[in-house]
Amino acid sequence: MDRLLATMTGRRICYYPSAGRDYSDILYVRPENFQTGTKNKYELPDLYLHTDYYPWENKLTFQPGQILHDAPDGKITVKTVEELETLDLPLSDLVDFHQETAEYGKCFLMDIEVDFKSGNKPEQTRLLYCFAENEGFTAWILYKISQRENIEFTYVCLVGYGSEYGGAKSSGSWLTATLERLKTKCFITDSDLEWNRGDYEASDCYGHLRGRPAVTDQTPSRNLEQWASRNPVRWMEV
Give the count of domains, the chain. Answer: 1
Question: Which SS3 state, helix, strand or coil, does residue 140 take?
Answer: helix
Q: What is the pLDDT of residue 163?
A: 47
- The domain in which residue 155 lies consists of 2-237
Q: What is the pLDDT of residue 37?
A: 74
In this structure, the number of other CB atoms found within 10 A of the CB of residue 221 comes to 18
Question: Hey, CA dihedral for 58, 117, 12, 41, is it positive or negative?
Answer: negative
Enumerate residue ranges in the chain where pLDDT < 70. Answer: 1, 54-59, 93-101, 149, 162-168
In SS3 terms, 8-39 reads as HCCCEEEEEECCCCCCHHHHHCCHHHCCCCCC
The closest alpha carbon to 187, from 232, 236, 233, 225, belongs to 236
How many whole angstroms separate alpha carbon 139 and alpha carbon 203?
9
Q: What is the pLDDT of residue 166?
A: 43
Say how far residue 215 (Cα) sits from the centre of its chain. 17
How many whole angstroms separate alpha carbon 14 and alpha carbon 87?
20
Q: Which residues are registered as beta bridge partners of 17? A: 51
Q: What is the pLDDT of residue 13?
A: 95
Residue 87's identity, in one-letter code, is L
Question: Which SS3 state, helix, strand or coil, does residue 108 take?
Answer: strand
Question: Which DSSP symbol is given to 122?
Answer: P
Q: What is the pLDDT of residue 128?
A: 96
Q: What is the pLDDT of residue 45?
A: 95
**HSE value, Cβ hemisphere, 13 Å, CA-based, for 217:** 7
Q: What is the pLDDT of residues 27-78, one digit of tens each?
A: 999 988 887 778 888 999 999 999 988 655 556 789 999 999 999 989 999 9
